[in-house]
Amino acid sequence: MTKLMMITVSASALLLAACSAETTGDGEHTDTGVTQEAAMTMSDNVLLAEWTGPFQGTPNFDEATLGDLRAAIEEGIALSLTEIEAIANNPEPATFENTIVAMERAGQALGRAQSYRGIWSRNMSTQEFRDINGELAPMLSAYGSQITQNAALFARVQAVHDGDEMASLRPDQQRVVQLRYDGFARNGATLEGDAAARYAAINEELSGLHQTFANNVLNDESTYVTYLGADQLEGLSDGIIQAAAAAATERGRDGEYAITNTRSSMDPFLTYSENRALREQVWNTYYNRGDNGDAFDNNDLIRQILILRDERVALLGFDNYAQWRLGNRMAGTPERALELMEAVWPAAVARIGEEVADMQSMADAEGANITIAPWDYRFYAEKVRRDRYDLDSEEVRQYLQLDNLREAMFDVAGELFGFQFTALEDGTVPVWHEDVHVWEVTDRESGDHVGIWYLDPFARQGKRSGAWANSFRSHTTFDGQQNVLATNNSNFVAGAPGEPVLVSWSDAETFFHEFGHALHGLSSNVAYPTLNGGVRDYTEFQSQLLERWLLTDRVINNYLVHVETGEPIPAELVNRIRAAANFNQGFSTGEYLASALMDMRYHTMDPTDLDVDSFERETLEELGMPNEIVMRHRSTQFNHIFSSEGYATGYYGYMWADVLTSDAAQAFEEAPGGYYDPEVAARLVDNLFAPRNSIDPADAYRAFRGRDAEVSALMRDRGFPVPE
C-alpha cells in the first residue's frame, strides 16, 4: 500500500522509540525541557532553536540549511543525554513526576532537529542529504541504545512501574508508565555484558542498512524514467499527456513525455496506454525497483537485515522476530494475524480467477491474440469496467478536482469533528517548498485554536513516492496546552500551470485516508506526548474509516462537479460507481495480501542462507499466487518493512484495521443520520480519535461499538462469500 501511517519526529517520541520499536508517541512540547545548565551551552544552530512566530511557534523552514543538520543532531543528542543522565541520577526516590514526566519533557531540541531531518528525508531528498543521513542513522541508533541500556534510568522506571504510587495514578498516567516500562523491557534493557553490547551494535548496523535500502529505492525511482515521443501516446487522456510533458520538461527533455517510476505515474499509464510493449516496459521498470543487479540492488540487504533482526530477538529469548514484534499488538501473535489473512486469501484468489477470465474473454473478442499478463491487468480491467458498468475511470476523473476534494475533507471534518479550516496567506508561516500551503484549524463553535495543517500535494524529484501524514507537534496538556502541527503529503501529478488537477478515484480515497491520520492527531485530547502514539494494527483504522465519506451524498452533491461545466456529478454515474464498488477486489486484495503474507513469512523463517528472489518466488507459488498479478510491494522495494522497522511484521495491520473499518461503518449505516449521525459521530471522536493511545485499542473499540468487530463485515464489504 502507498498509504503510510503517521510518521512522527517528536522529542518524547525519540526517547520512547529509543526504548521501543513498537509504539511511538508523536507529541512535541514547545518548551525545550532542557535543563538550565544544558540550555546555557546550546549553540545558535537554527535547527535546534525554539520555534517562533504565531501558533505557538512553527519550524523555521525558511532559515534551515542542510549544512547545519549534522551539527544539530550531534548537539541535540548531547543535550538529550545530559537530560537523561540528570533523570537517571536523581538522588530522590523515583516518582511518576521526577522520572516519567521528566522523560516526557526531555529531548525537545533534538526533536526539533529531527523535524527538519524528516522533511529532507521524505519531501526534499538530495544526494547531499543522503550522504549526511547515512552518517546520522547509526549515530541516532547508538543514542537510542544509550538510553535503553541506561541501567539507572530503567531502574527508576521499573521502580515507578512496580511501586505503590502506580495504583494512585490516573488510568492514562498508568498507561504512560506501562508504555515506558515495556519500551525498556522489550528492547534489551534487561541484557547485560556482551549481550547488551551486541544488541546495541545490531541496532546501529540495522539503522545503516535500513537507510541504504530506502536510498536504493529512491535512486531507482529517480533514475529510471520512460521517455515517450508524440507517436507513443495512444489511449492517454489530455490530462495524463500534459502531466507527462511537464515531468519531461522538469528533467530537461522538452518535447518529450516522461512516465516517472512512481505509482502515481505508472498506474494511469498501465490503465490507458494502447501500446502493450510500452506497458510491459513501464511495468518492469516499476516492479524491478531495487532488483536490477547493480550497485543499488537490495536483495542482499534484505538478507542482512533479516539475519540481524533474528539475532537480536534471540538475545531476548524469542523464537522469531514476528513473535517478539506482535506481543503488544491487537493481533497478539503471528498466528492470529495469519488466521485473518488466510481467511481472506482464498476468496481473493478465486475472485482474481474470475477477473482474469473476464479480461481474457474481452481480449479474445478483440482479436488481441494475447494471454493476460501483469502489465495487461489494469488495461483490460478498465475495459471490463467500462463494458460491465458503463464506467470509464477517465469520465469519473473529470469530477475529481484536487481542490474540491480538499474542501470536501474540510466539510467532513467540520461535521464530524467540529473543525474549521482557514487558509493562511503565503508567508504567514515558513514552508519547505513553494508547493506547500497551510491552513489554521479552529474549533467551529468556540473559535479556539486547535492547530495548523500543512499540505504538500505534488510529486517532484527527491520526494518519496506514495502518500503519508506526519506531525511536527502534537496535542498535550501536561505542561500547559500545546497545539498541533500536522501535515499531509501526496504525490499527485501537477498539470499545466493554472490547470485544475484531476485525480483517480483511488487517489481520492487515498487523499481522504491520509487526512484521517491528520484528524486523528488534531482531535487528540491526551495529556502526555507518549499517548499520541499508537498500536500499529490499530492506527490505520481511523484513516481507513474516513475513506467512506468520499461516497456520501453530502460530498457527492457539493464537491464532485465537472471540471469544465461545473455541473454536479450525475446521479446515474454515482450509481454506476457504487455498483462497481467491489469491482477488481480480487486484484486490490490479492496484491496487498501477497505483500502482507510475505512480510510475515520473512519474519518467521530462518534467513541464514536466504536467496530473496528464490524465496519470494517459491513462497508465492506455495500460496497459489496467480501469475497475472504481483505483490503490491515486491521485496526489494518494500520500504514499509525494510527501510525501517515501522511496519515489519505489521503490514497485515491494514487488513486488521479494515475489519474494524467495515464493522464501524455499519454503525453509521444503521444510524438514523447515516454517516453524519451526530450521536455516532460523537462516539467515534470521543472513543476512537481523541483518546489516541491513552487506552487499550480493544477497549476503545468496544466502548464505541458495544462489542468486538466481526470479520464478516469485511467479507461483505468486499463482495466475498461470508464464512458460516
Catalytic residues: 514
d(CA 312, CA 299): 21
Q: C-alpha cell of 248?
A: 519531461
The torsion angles phi and psi of 456, rounded to 5 degrees, stand at: -115, 90
Residue corresponding to grid cell 523552514: 61
d(CA 508, CA 491): 12
d(CA 107, CA 113): 10
Picking from 551, 519, 489, the residue whose alpha carbon sits closest to that of residue 264 is 489
Q: SS in 3 state form for 363-423?
A: HHHCCCCCCCCHHHHHHHHHHHHHHHHCCCHHHHHCCCEHHHHHHHHHHHHHHHHCEEEEE
d(CA 672, CA 666): 12
Q: C-alpha cell of 31?
A: 518548551
User: Any bridge partners for residue 422, and if so which?
Assistant: 440
The torsion angles phi and psi of 455, rounded to 5 degrees, stand at: -125, 120
Sign of the C-alpha dihedral computed for residues 145, 102, 486 and 65 taken in this order: negative
Q: C-alpha cell of 553?
A: 451524498
d(CA 119, CA 135): 17
Give SS3 for 568: strand
Q: C-alpha cell of 300?
A: 542482499
C-beta of residue 659 within 8 angstroms of C-beta of residue 714: yes
DSSP designation for 688: I
C-beta of residue 72 within 8 angstroms of C-beta of residue 43: no
Element (H, E) at 298: none
Residue 403 neighbours by CB under 8 Å, 6+ apart: 500, 501
Burial class (CB in 10 A: 0-12, 13-18, 19+), 623: middle
Task: Output the CA angle 484-179-105, nearest 5 degrees.
Answer: 50
Q: What torsion, rounded to 10 degrees, do the Cα atoms 374, 380, 381, 386 define?
A: 170
d(CA 16, CA 104): 9
As a whole number of Å, the end-to-end CA separation of the chain is 30
Picking from 448, 442, 451, 519, the residue whose alpha carbon sits closest to that of residue 485 is 451
d(CA 224, CA 650): 29
d(CA 527, CA 631): 41
C-beta of residue 647 within 8 angstroms of C-beta of residue 16: no
C-beta of residue 33 within 8 angstroms of C-beta of residue 532: no
